[in-house]
Chain A
Amino acid sequence: MSDIGLAAKPSIGKGFRLQWEPAQNAHVLLYPEGMVKLNGSAGEILKRCDGNRSVSAIVDDLEQAFGASGLSKDVTNFMTYAAAKKWIELRE
């Protein structure tokens, strides 16, 4: 799996659905007959993968929302993992 380009626009993968579950107090990713319970940062990243925003825009947004900097590496690492699992699809 190659590195994720900052211009790519990620969206939730076909057949997957992201939603907030109050009973679990977490975002979950639903797919055919299965579910992944996401930790806080994974949920924050994935909920921004709407197919309109680029990876760099998502990084900027997260840094602003959490008053942090230098998140780029963490975000692209997670996205590489998520893309391999087909949780997200990337369009250049």
Chain B
Amino acid sequence: MNVPPPPGLDAKAASPPLWLLLELTYRCPLHCAFCYNPTDFAKTSTELGTDDWIRVLREARKLGAVQLGLSGGEPLSRDDLEDIVAEAHTLGFYTNLVTSGVGLNERRISALKQAGLDHIQLSFQDSTRELNDFLSSTRTFDLKAKVAALIKQHDYPMVLNVVLHRLNIDHVEAILEMAERMGADYLELANTQYYGWAWHNRDQLLPSREQVERAEQATARFRERVGERMKVYFVVPDYFERRPKPCMNGLGSIFLTVTPDGTALPCHAAKMLPGLDFPNVKQHPVDWIWRDSPAFNHYRGDSWMKEPCRSCPEKHKDFGGCRCQAYLMTGDAANADPVCDKSPHHHLVEEAVARAGRTSPDRTRTEKPVLIFRDARNSRTISGCNG
């Protein structure tokens, strides 16, 4: 998810967790190869009950949380979603449902509307049925198109999200036209960020620089034609940048995630970070977790930074980038995000991009790349867990 820092807010220690993301479940009917969920999700066998989620909502709202993401997995897999939305709405959250659309029928969308749901973000994997269904390892394209119509019918702003990568980025023009036909108000073209399953499949998913440039040009042409009628966000893949993204506006600054079993994280990918004991909402109040827990304080501020970040004049602009990316690529989460060209590890990013440039996207497509899809069996195989 793309989280723009709210303007006018500093990354002060223990400012409010403005963004609360509840990953209600890891159950998902889709098996997307670019999913950011942890590859060992199958180890999570328990989910918080309705009462626990509602307590989390109340405690986080008291701290100043205001934007609520309901995600997963597929949040519609939970039959108490309507109750959770209703409570969130009463508390004053702006409620965002992040969904594949699977499970959203007339009955449920009416109930969610009545409960006060503010916004639905619907994902598509591609503009074509063939690739949508291949990438998600399901037959869901036609269903999603129906759900898009249902969203419109219920007078929601229509917000579509398409994750881009090597296999669909050349279809950007068709994706934009599909969104326009459906009457989308917003389209987020989010280039894959390489965590979880996407990290596992990175070499099959990373586009070439030429592909990214063509997609940006197509987006610019579309914006010129369509103007304000539809807003298009093109989230540039950070591997092609020279400065890192201000990930989460710094850990512990505005963003709080709670995973299905109640583990609280300062970023939805942070569970991978070694040496941190992430607290669980079943054992601790959210207030303590956010303000006082060692895990949430570890990467607050800049005292954890090493060179070149520590003395960098831009450290309060990008906060050293992403801790997870630093850990995945360099083995040390306190290193600079290697996307930064000041990082001594920047060559790792350049090499990945160069590899992507050498493989023609056409060849990748005709040969059907070997993607590892997000499902429980693969999860158990990757994480060496038999549970």
The 0/1 profile, CB within 8 Å of A marked 1, for residues 275-315 of chain B is 00000000000000000000000000000000000000000
**Is A19 an interface residue when CB atoms closer than 8 A count as contact?**
yes
Chain B residues whose C-beta falls within 8 Å of the C-beta of A23 in the assembled complex: 16, 63-64, 66
Inter-chain CA distance A23–B7, complex, in Å, is 16
> What 1/0 mask marks residues of chain B from 243 to 280 whose CB sits below 8 Å from any chain A CB?
00000000000000000000000000000000000000
Q: Is A37 an interface residue (CB 8 A)?
A: yes
Instruction: Verify if B220 is at the interface (C-beta below 8 Å from A).
Output: no
Q: Chain A: interface residue count, which band?
A: 10 to 19
Q: Which residues of B contact A84 (CB under 8 A)?
A: 228
Residues of B within 8 A of A32 (CB): 96, 118-119, 121, 157, 159, 186
Residue of B7, B69, B121 touching A37 (CB-CB under 8 A): B7
| Contact-residue size bin, chain B (C-beta under 8 Å from the other chain) | 20 to 34
Task: Tell me whether A71 is interfacial, beta carbon within 8 Å.
Answer: no
CA distance A14 to B155 in the complex (A): 9
CB of A33 within 8 A of chain B?
yes
Q: Does A44 contact B (CB under 8 A)?
A: no
Q: Is B384 in contact with chain A by the CB < 8 A criterion?
A: no
Question: Is the Cβ of B157 less than 8 Å from the Cβ of A19?
Answer: no
Chain A residues with CB below 8 A from B18, complex form: 35
**Contact call B1/A19, Cβ cutoff below 8 A:** no
A24 engages B94 (CB within 8 Å): no
With A24-B16, A30-B94 as known contacts, state yes or no: A17 contacts B118, CB within 8 Å. yes
Q: Taking the complex as formed, is A40 at the interface, i.e. its CB lies under 8 A from any CB of chain B?
A: no
Q: Please name all residues of chain B whose beta carbon is closer than 8 Å to the beta carbon of A34 when the two chains form the complex.
A: 4, 6, 67
Bound CA–CA A52/B77 (angstroms): 41
B185 at the interface (CB under 8 A from A): yes
Bound together, the chains give a CA A23 to CA B12 distance in angstroms of 14
Contact A36 B7 (CB under 8 A): yes
User: Which B residue sits closest to A86, measured CB to CB?
Assistant: B228
Q: How far is the CA of A34 from the CA of B119 in the complex (A)?
A: 11
Given A21-B64, A21-B66, A28-B66, check contact A33 B8 (CB 8 Å).
no
Cα distance, A36 to B6, chains bound together (Å): 6
Identify A33's interface contact among B63, B119, B156, CB under 8 A.
B119
Contacts of B8 in A (CB 8 A): 37
A17-B94, A24-B64 are known contacts. Are A33 and B1 too (CB-CB below 8 A)? yes
Contacting pair A15 B157 (CB below 8 A):
yes
- B43 → chain A closest CB, angstroms: 29
Per the bound structure, the CA–CA distance linking A86 and B6 in Å amounts to 17
Are B121's CB and A33's CB within 8 A? yes
A interface with B by C-beta (< 8 Å): 14-15, 17, 19, 21-24, 28, 30-37, 84, 86
Could you give 27 example pairs across A and B, Cβ below 8 Å?
Answer: A14-B155, A17-B94, A19-B92, A21-B64, A21-B66, A22-B64, A23-B63, A23-B64, A23-B66, A24-B9, A24-B16, A28-B66, A30-B66, A30-B94, A32-B96, A32-B119, A33-B2, A33-B69, A33-B159, A34-B4, A34-B6, A35-B18, A35-B66, A35-B94, A37-B6, A37-B7, A84-B228
Known pairs A15-B157, A30-B67, A37-B6. 14 more at Cβ < 8 A? A15-B119, A15-B185, A17-B94, A22-B64, A23-B16, A24-B64, A30-B94, A32-B157, A33-B96, A33-B121, A35-B67, A36-B7, A37-B8, A86-B228
Closest 5 CB pairs of A and B: A23-B64, A30-B94, A15-B157, A32-B119, A23-B16
